[in-house]
Amino acid sequence: MPGHLDDDGRVRSSYWNIGTKTGRLSCSKPNMQQNPKLNPLLPFDYKEIFEAPKGKKLLSVDYKGQELRILAIISRDPTLLNAFKKGYDLHLMTANYVFNLGIKDDQLAESHKDYKKLRKKYDHERHIGKNGYNFPIIYGTTAYGIAKNTGISEDVAQTGIDRFFNAYPEVRRAIQRCSTFLNENWHVRSLTKRRRRLDPGEKKSHRQAFNFLIQSLAADMIRCACNNMRKVINEHPEWGLKIIMIVHDEIVLEINEDMVEKARPFIVDVMENAMPKLPLKMSVDIGVGQTYSSAK
Where along the chain do its domains lie?
Answer: 14-64+219-295, 67-217
Residues in the chain where the model's pLDDT stays below 50 = none
Burial class (CB in 10 A: 0-12, 13-18, 19+), 29: exposed
CATH number of the domain located at residue range(s) 14-64+219-295 in this protein:
3.30.70.370
Alpha-carbon gap, residue 131 to 134, rounded angstroms:
7
Give the pLDDT score at 1: 61
pTM score: 0.91
- Residues 47 and 245 sit within 8 Å (Cβ to Cβ): no
Enumerate residues 6+ apart whose C-beta is below 8 A from 34. Answer: none
3-state secondary structure of 29: coil
Enumerate residues 6+ apart whose C-beta is below 8 A from 174. Answer: 71, 74, 75, 76, 77, 210
Edge-to-edge strand order for the sheet containing 284-289? Answer: 242-247, 250-256, 56-63, 284-289
Alpha-carbon gap, residue 158 to 91, rounded angstroms:
18
Give the pLDDT score at 278: 95
- Which tens digit of pLDDT belongs to each residue from 27-38? 888 888 877 776
- Residues 80 and 168 sit within 8 Å (Cβ to Cβ): yes
DSSP letter at 51 equals B
- Which tens digit of pLDDT belongs to each residue from 217-263? 999 999 999 999 999 999 999 999 999 999 989 999 999 999 999 99
Largest interatomic CA distance in the chain: 60
Give the pLDDT score at 183: 98
Neighbours of 16 (CB within 10 A): 11
- Residues 250 and 25 sit within 8 Å (Cβ to Cβ): no
Which CATH superfamily hosts domain 67-217? 5' to 3' exonuclease, C-terminal subdomain (1.10.150.20)
Q: Which amino acid, residue 286?
A: I
